[in-house]
Amino acid sequence: MDGNPARLILRIGSKKPCKLKLRKSKRRLSVEIAEKKDKLSRGKFNCLYNIINSIDLPIVSVSYPSFNIIDINNKAQREKKLLKRCFLLVDEMRKGNNTLNVFSKTYSCRNQQCIAKMLCTKASVYLPNIEVEDNGKKMYYKLMCQPILNPHNKIIGFMINSIDITKEVEKKKIVENLARFKDEFLYSITHEFKTPLVVISSALQAMEVLCKNELTDRIKIYLNRIKQNTFRQMRLVNNLLDIAKIEAGYIKILKKNLDIVAMTRLITESVSMFAELKGVKLLFYSNINKKIIAIDEEKYERIMLNLLSNAIKFTPKGKTVYVEVSTQGGYVEIKVKDSGIGIPKDKVKTIFERFVQVDSSLSRNTEGTGIGLALVHMFVSSLGGQITVKSEENIGSTFTVALPDVVTEYGCENDRLVDLCDNRLIQAIKIEFSDIYFDENDSERKKNLET
């Protein structure tokens, strides 16, 4: 027996009216179910719409692939100027829609690149930040595009979410201004330090020349100590000034075509007497006889003198320091290899940062400030090269400087190398090697060094 109450009721009476009433009942039931589903759907939509409208974040919904704006929440409507920028962005996307695909490599702007990335990955992307001026106040927004997917995982649109980053930008500007003020202050105060050091150095030179016959050996020892510490302070001041110039963008790079092999050999030979005083062997090797590349002569001297002074400083007596020149894949590699104390693993990655020292105890034979290698890294980068280090504790370190194997249009100036051993280089060597202390009893070799 059919247990359906509707059918039981319809069986009472004639047969045809029962069938008609049954069809009407089914139709009415279907309509009621559809109305309930529609009401439930509209309720969910209204709930979602109310949530989006209540979010304190400007949101613009855009269709795809037509790029039509289909909805704007309340927050976006209040931000009139921001909304105008979003409209311009959507117009830009609509105009470029014919080339906007994941396979295209040519885009008219970065915005199209970001949208293409979103279409490819179906993930959120960040568009370039925008600046909006409202009543004389500048506001900064980060735009995020969030794709909208259908049940088949296809993009049918996307939302542009505008995130207010004004406070972050303002804080960043404050920090940048403070950093700029710090650099300017450091540059000014360091420059003031340099003036009296130059006067002291000039006075010492005058005493050695004018009062040469009147100076006793004891006085000469004290004068040498004053001179060495004056050089140490000049080294620190010069490094600080150079770092300040580089960070301020005032560094000047004057590249000339020079023989890098001959330059490296001359610099190495110029400091060999310091290695001898320290009891360290200094050897030069090159698998090429000549190599002309574009180089800033003064910057390269500073790089090599710093690496050589560190190598000699940290290499024990009786050990060897090697300088090698070779070519490798479009670069000229200059290696300075020592047999010193090495660098701990935890400091290898930070050795080119400012004020980082291998041994912070600052023993008498290894004094320094920890900014020399930072400056070397800056100089190498300004020359378009790279510097790397490989080290093992108690075995030694190898610093490799890779410079581009290119030339400039100014032509070769090999004859300039004869001037490398002029007073400027000699003075630079004395300043750079002022952190190395020698045995004061070795008076004969020290006398040769001074002359």
Supply the DSSP symbol for 351. Answer: T
Can you spell out the DSSP letters for 261-317? HHHHHHHHHHTHHHHHHHT-EEEEEES-S--EEEE-HHHHHHHHHHHHHHHHHHSPT
Q: Would you say residue 114 has pLDDT above 70?
A: yes
Q: Would you say residue 325 has pLDDT above 90?
A: yes
Cis peptide before 65 (omega within 30 of 0): yes
Confidence of residue 203 (pLDDT cuts 50, 70, 90): confident
CA distances from 197 to 230, 245, 423 (A): 6, 20, 18
> Which amino acid would we find at residue 232?
R
CA distances from 436 to 27, 33, 234, 242, 363 (A): 102, 93, 15, 22, 11
Q: Check if the beta carbon of residue 403 is closer than 8 Å to that of residue 263.
A: no
At 155, list the tokens: 């993009």
Q: Would you say residue 306 has pLDDT above 80?
A: yes
Confidence of residue 326 (pLDDT cuts 50, 70, 90): very high
Domains of the chain: 38-99+106-164 (3.30.450.20), 252-441 (3.30.565.10)
Q: Would you say residue 172 has pLDDT above 80?
A: yes
Q: Is the model more confident about 199 or about 369?
A: 199
At 419, list the tokens: 């001037």
Q: Would you say residue 445 has pLDDT above 60?
A: no
CA distances from 141 to 85, 123, 169 (A): 11, 20, 9
Long-range contacts at 265-268 (CB < 8 A, ≥ 24 apart) = 266/417, 266/420, 266/421, 267/301, 267/304, 267/305, 267/308, 267/420, 267/425, 268/304, 268/308, 268/323
pLDDT computed for residue 443 by the predictor: 45
Dmax over Cα atoms in the chain, in whole Å? 146
Q: Would you say residue 10 has pLDDT above 50?
A: no
Range 334-346 average pLDDT: 87
Q: Would you say residue 372 has pLDDT above 60?
A: yes
Confidence of residue 331 (pLDDT cuts 50, 70, 90): very high
Q: Would you say residue 439 has pLDDT above 70?
A: no
Confidence of residue 43 (pLDDT cuts 50, 70, 90): low
pLDDT computed for residue 1 by the predictor: 44
Q: Check if the beta carbon of residue 145 is closer than 8 Å to that of residue 160.
A: yes
Our separate counts of H helices and E strands in the chain read 14, 12
pLDDT computed for residue 403 by the predictor: 94
At 162, list the tokens: 């505008």
pLDDT computed for residue 50 by the predictor: 66
| Integer Rg of the chain from CA | 38
Residue 326, judged by CB atoms within 10 A of its CB (0-12, 13-18, 19+), counts as middle
- The model's pLDDT over 219-258, given as tens digits with 9 standing for 90+, comes to 888 888 888 788 888 888 888 888 877 777 777 888 889 9
- The model's pLDDT over 386-431, given as tens digits with 9 standing for 90+, comes to 999 998 888 889 999 999 999 887 655 554 554 544 566 777 777 7
- The model's pLDDT over 423-435, given as tens digits with 9 standing for 90+, comes to 667 777 777 777 6
* pTM to 2 decimal places: 0.58
Confidence of residue 36 (pLDDT cuts 50, 70, 90): low
- The model's pLDDT over 119-171, given as tens digits with 9 standing for 90+, comes to 888 888 888 888 888 777 888 888 888 888 888 888 888 888 888 888 888 88
